[in-house]
Amino acid sequence: MDTSRMLTTAKILLLLAMILSSVSGSQQSTAVRGFVPEYTSDAQLKLPENYREWVYLTSGFDMSYSANSQMDDHHMFDNVFVDPESYKKFLETGTWPDKTTLVLEVREARGKGSINQKGHFQSGVMGLEVHVKDEARFPGKWAFFGFDGEKTGKMVPTTASCYSCHADHAAVDTTFVQFYPTLLPISKSKGTLSAAYKKEIEISAPASK
């Protein structure tokens, strides 16, 4: 039995295993997130143009957070999309990771058209808004950006009511997960619902007889 040859072979195999382990660890440590929000030199957010290929969360119809809102002259749908990696992380943890990007797409709701005689269907885009979590960039971690038919959008000033509204009423991490039917059960099971939202639920719950 050639013991020296066996020892040499064993050393080679051990060395190969160490190299493969090192390469694997290096790849994991240098892995780049598939999507990250991008900004222009003047701090505008670049529109993620493929957002309609992201995960669809929900659609609302004529939603308004004001009891006095009047929309008698038109109707609208709003569709919400989120980048796939953030969605997967939410399923695991019940909350949103850094760099989460949610797109709110507002579309015209039309009645009669083609063979449709009742109800409403979606038509042209009326507006776009993006909600971004970028902890190193924004003091409040999250920021809103409005797009007016352009490829870039300006940040909505933090004095705008949308910030306080989301902070005071959002179910999870300043986002309205209460309107995302596939995610609300996840946040409930993970125990990540905000105290403010749970209080609202308690107040609005019908009194037991």
pLDDT above 90 covers a percentage of the chain that reads 63
Task: Tell whether 55 is covered by a domain.
Answer: yes
Q: Taking residues 204-209, what's their average pLDDT? A: 62
**Tens digit of each residue's pLDDT (9 = 90 or more) over 3-38:** 555 545 555 555 555 544 544 444 443 356 689 999
> pLDDT at position 5, please?
56
Q: What is the pLDDT of residues 142-190, one digit of tens each?
A: 999 999 889 999 999 999 999 999 999 999 999 999 999 999 999 999 9
Could you write out the DSSP letters of every residue in 62-125? S--S-TT---TT-EEEEEEEE-HHHHHHHHHHSSPPTT-EEEEEEEEEE-SBTTB-SS-EEEEE
* Angle at alpha carbon of residue 152, lines to 131 and 103, rounded to 5°: 30
CB 152 within 8 A of CB 45: yes
pLDDT at position 86 over 90: yes
Q: Give residue 40's domain range.
A: 31-191
The neighbour count for residue 165, using CB atoms within 10 Å, is 13
Look-up of token digits 């004001």: 66
Query: What is the count of structural domains for the chain?
Result: 1
Q: What is the pLDDT of residue 204?
A: 75
In a domain, 3, yes or no: no
Q: Is residue 155 part of a domain?
A: yes
Q: What is the CATH number of the domain that holds 143?
A: 3.50.70.20
Distances (CA, A) of 187 to 90, 143, 164, 165, 178: 8, 22, 21, 20, 9
Structure tokens at 31: 């892995």
Distance CA 173, CA 194 (A): 7
Q: Kindly report, residue by residue over 101-155, the tens digit of the pLDDT.
A: 999 999 999 888 899 989 988 888 899 999 999 999 999 999 999 998 899 999 9
- Do the domain assignments include residue 64? yes
Whether 2 is in a domain gets the answer: no
pLDDT category at 206 given cuts 50, 70, 90 is low
pLDDT digits (tens, 9 = 90+) for 42-73: 999 999 999 999 999 999 998 887 666 565 66
In the predicted model, is pLDDT for residue 196 greater than 90?
A: yes
Residue 9, domain member (yes or no): no
Q: Is residue 47 part of a domain?
A: yes
Whether 133 maps to a domain, the answer reads yes
What pLDDT was estimated at residue 62?
85
pTM: 0.79
